[in-house]
Structure 1
Amino acid sequence: MKSKLLLVSLALCAALPLASHAQQRRAAPVPHWYAGIHGGVNDVKDWSADVNFGGPTTAGELRLDRGLHFGLMAGRRTENARFEVEYQHGRMDIDRMTLGGFSQAASGKGSYDALTVNAYRTFEVANRTTAYIGAGIGWGRVKLPTLPTISGCNCFRGVSDDGLVYQLRLGAEYEIQNNQHLLAQYTLLHVPGLGSGGAPSVEYSSKNINIFSIGYRAGF
């Protein structure tokens, strides 16, 4: 009986430092620099436009399918926050265009690029699992291709423009090893409108892009 009590006491003494270390680690993550990558899909659905014939304006629209998205980021993790610089690129497939009462199939690819500075508030929700919510602001560029004529009009010309971008993000990450994380996140990215000159001219509205991605982040 005494030997069993001695063994239990020794086991508890050995476990206490480990438990204390784990508790301290969960309560106060060590600040560190990090870099990461993420990839996934965007969901745009449609993009409205106004076509101007030198006087009257006709409403138009592009219908888009889901496209691929990826991003690179680097920043600093503190006890309850993250601050980073991020570059993102995405592509969109166009499968239909509409002008007034006319609609027809189309084929083309659009793209967007965004460079932002982001800030997140982090929340520990379980052992090794952290949720985060935040926002970012920066500069971006959008490109849309030249599409076939519709009802005899070369209305949807290729356009490219840049401007202010901003985003909101919600995600969670799981620490697979020390300072190495797998993450899943949702991003709402706002990109600027764009337009072409000439007659007829086309003006595309600014757009919110839904993005779902998974990724990896490593500290150093």
Structure 2
Amino acid sequence: MRITLGLVSAAALMVAASAAHADRVGPYLSAFGGYVIQPDLEISSGGADGELSTDNGWAAGGAMGYDFGRPRVEAEVTYRRNEADEISSGGATVDVDGNLSSLAVMINALYDFENSSRFTPYIGAGIGAAWVYANDIGVPGARVDDDDVVFAYQGIAGVKVAVTGGLSLFVDYRYFATLDPEFDAPGGGTIESEYATHNIMAGLTYNFGTGAAPMAEPAPAAAPAPAPADARSYIVFFDWNSTAITPEAQAIIQDAANAASSLGVARIELTGHADRSGSAAYNQGLSLKRAKAVATVLVGLGIPAANITTVGKGESAPLVPTPDGVREPQNRRVEIVM
């Protein structure tokens, strides 16, 4: 029995963490490290071509950004290092030492595929600049020790796991590459090289946002049961950031129109509302558009437009009080009052 209760409690804590973390809106910080696999890099100097091979290496970095609920934007700084192994050219191979490293400053755009589980897949891409360092690569008497600043880019795909309300663990793959850096050659001239890496990263992110919306958009809260003949008010609900009339909302509006016709109602007030996931000004306009969308359906069902008034209250009158930035389904509504 104790084991069963323990398992149930652990599961409840995991679900609570997932729900509290989902769609969290606000600034965040990340720290990560990883394993860097570098393919053989083509190099050329003075008309001679070759390849530089390196050992698998490591990376460490951090990022700060802002989570908008699903899209994210962040600034990232990452250091990568691979030890040089050998240079091949013209059928000959020479063992070398030194290392090839980079320090990248990137701007990344990412998108989280929120769902009902604790696991959130994401993808992203970034651009920026990288300082690429050839640190004493070569053999005694013939070493390359130079650096170059070049354009950098990367693609990202991974998954994050909610740990607590604001903390999540993530693991991702990153392909990071740059335009070809150039280095001064030991005997004069330049060496042109590629720079590309395959990276497996793992780290932690903490989101400082004050609230969280449901991981997946829940179905709108149940509307009142079909109204009896003397009913005078109805509520219809909307999807996030939408003015579209759902099939459920259409049925409720039809009931309201039937009641208005049978009761001989001379005035219908439509009051639109929004949740707090956008700015107050944007939500004010969105709430009025929702009220007008319901009015359009009522007119199509035979209610005279002159009998209908529309009002938008934005996020000022929620059914469920929430912190700013929270997507609460019950606050995305239009109230129909006769």
Q: TM-score, normalised by structure 1?
A: 0.79
The residue number in structure 1 matching 2:26 is 32
Deviates more, 1:174-183 or 1:186-195: 186-195
Aligned partner (choices 35, 46, 53) of residue 41 of structure 1: 35
Q: Is it true that 1:105 corresponds to 2:105 in the alignment?
A: no
Q: Is it true that 1:60 corresponds to 2:32 in the alignment?
A: no
Q: Match of 1:51, as an amino acid?
A: S
Asked if structure 2 preserves the Cα contact closer than 8 Å seen for 1:159 and 1:194, the reply is no
State the structure with bigger RCO (CA 8 A, min sep 6), 1 or 2: 1
The residue number in structure 2 matching 1:114 is 104
Determine helix, strand or coil for the equivalent of 2:163. Answer: strand
The residue number in structure 1 matching 2:179 is 192
Percent identity over the alignment is 24
Unaligned 5+ runs, structure 2: 1-11, 209-338
The within-5 A match list for 1:147-158 is: 147-149=137-139, 154=142, 157-158=144-145
Which structure has the larger Rg over C-alpha atoms? 2
User: Following TM superposition, by how much is the alpha carbon of 1:200 offset from its aligned partner in structure 2, in angstroms?
Assistant: 4.8
Distance in 1, Cα, partners of 2:22 & 2:121: 15
The residue number in structure 2 matching 1:145 is 135
User: Following TM superposition, by how much is the alpha carbon of 1:149 offset from its aligned partner in structure 2, in angstroms?
Assistant: 4.7
Determine helix, strand or coil for the equivalent of 1:178. Answer: coil
The residue number in structure 2 matching 1:83 is 73
The residue number in structure 1 matching 2:45 is 51
Deviates more, 1:184-193 or 1:196-205: 196-205
Q: Match of 1:180, as an amino acid?
A: L
Aligned partner (choices 208, 213, 216) of residue 196 of structure 2: 208
Determine helix, strand or coil for the equivalent of 2:144. Answer: coil
Asked if structure 2 preserves the Cα contact closer than 8 Å seen for 1:50 and 1:60, the reply is yes
Distance in 2, Cα, partners of 1:178 & 1:148: 50
RMSD value, Cα: 2.5
Asked if structure 1 preserves the Cα contact closer than 8 Å seen for 2:28 and 2:64, the reply is yes
Greater helix share, 1 or 2? 2
1:121–1:147 Cα change, 3 Å:
closer
Q: Match of 2:163, as an amino acid?
A: I
The residue number in structure 2 matching 1:217 is 205
Q: Match of 1:205, as an amino acid?
A: S
Asked if structure 2 preserves the Cα contact closer than 8 Å seen for 1:42 and 1:69, the reply is yes
Paired residue total = 193
Asked if structure 1 preserves the Cα contact closer than 8 Å seen for 2:144 and 2:184, the reply is no
Aligned partner (choices 60, 65, 70) of residue 70 of structure 1: 60
Aligned partner (choices 180, 201, 207) of residue 167 of structure 2: 180
CA displacement, residues 161-185 of structure 1 (integer Å, 9 cap, x when unaligned): 0021111100100001101100000
Unaligned 5+ runs, structure 1: 1-17
1:115–1:42 Cα change, 3 Å:
same
Moved over 6 A (4+): none
Q: Is it true that 1:161 corresponds to 2:155 in the alignment?
A: no
Asked if structure 1 preserves the Cα contact closer than 8 Å seen for 2:96 and 2:139, the reply is no
